[in-house]
Amino acid sequence: MNSTACVFLPPNYFLLGGGVVMATTHLHQHQHLSVTSHRHTLIIKQWRRILHTILVGDSGVGKTSLLVQFDQGKFIPGSFSSTVGIGFTNKVLTVDELKVRLQIWDTAGQERFRSVTHAYYRDAQALLLLYDITSRSSFDNTRAWLTEIHEYAQDDVVIMLLGNKSDMASARVIRREEGEKLAREYGVIFLETSAKTGLNVDEAFMTVAKELVRRSVQLPIEPRFHLHDLMEPEKESSGCCGFS
């Protein structure tokens, strides 16, 4: 017999096939969705979501240059005066079959703007922390940055440590192994980049986008609860909601 259940879902949740319940908060509003699902599978096409990412690190490590290289594919030496406060760039990326909009905030490295940038940490889903491989102090300061990040950012923020200016081999003072060791210690992803040559620039942002998408779609595949968890026992399972 085909019995019809009456289920009251919590706000912001909707029902997919196979009794899977998904939070609407995991989807960006007003986007066209094409969703097919069964209990363990969820395929979302044309899925767009804004992924907030912040660039942080000491003044002069190359945050603005890295963002310009990623956004426009070019490097203009010495062209940027220090960032004042904060600015952002949007970039649409395709991760597997999903389109995601990476909104990247470029923060000022200077100490005097620190209280402004802290306010943006809370909304960030990913943080790219840069140091300059030719500057010992910028590397040493990453520990202080990581402490700040843990204080102000969300617990599950994706953090990536980037050793920038890797093209400046003769001026290098931080060995790659030191960067890798620090990243291991803090459990964060690590890459060396060059905003000048473009080395690993796309890779850095793509890695972040992939990780954020992976985390976002994983949750519905492993739903917090299933329909039967919400259903009352048998006596409640028919006769409501105008079905027969």
Contact residues for 31 (Cβ-Cβ < 8 A; gap 6+): 46, 47, 48, 49
Q: Pattern of binders to ligand GTP over 155-194, x per CB under 6 A?
A: ---------xx-xx-------------------------x
How near is the Cβ of 43 to ligand GTP at its closest, in Å?
Answer: 39
With contacts defined by CB under 6 A, name the span among 29-37, 58-66, 121-129, 219-227 that binds ligand GTP. 58-66
| Helices within the chain (DSSP H only) | 63-72, 114-121, 136-140, 142-152, 176-186, 201-221, 227-230
Based on the shown chain and the rule CB under 6 A, indicate whether residue 142 belongs to the binding site for ligand GTP.
no
Decide if 61 contacts 53 (C-beta within 8 A): no
Among candidate residues 195, 162, 191, the one with its CA nearest the CA of residue 64? 195
Roughly what angle, to the nearest 10 degrees, separates helices 201-221 and 63-72?
Answer: 80
Based on the shown chain and the rule CB under 6 A, indicate whether residue 72 belongs to the binding site for ligand GTP.
no
Based on the shown chain and the rule CB under 6 A, indicate whether residue 64 belongs to the binding site for ligand GTP.
yes
Among candidate residues 67, 59, 26, the one with its CA nearest the CA of residue 205? 67
Residue closer to ligand GTP, measured from CB, 108 or 191: 108
Q: How many residues bind ligand GTP (CB under 6 A)?
A: 22
How near is the Cβ of 200 to ligand GTP at its closest, in Å?
Answer: 10
Positions that interact with ligand GTP (CB under 6 A): 59-65, 77-78, 80, 82-83, 108-110, 164-165, 167-168, 194-196
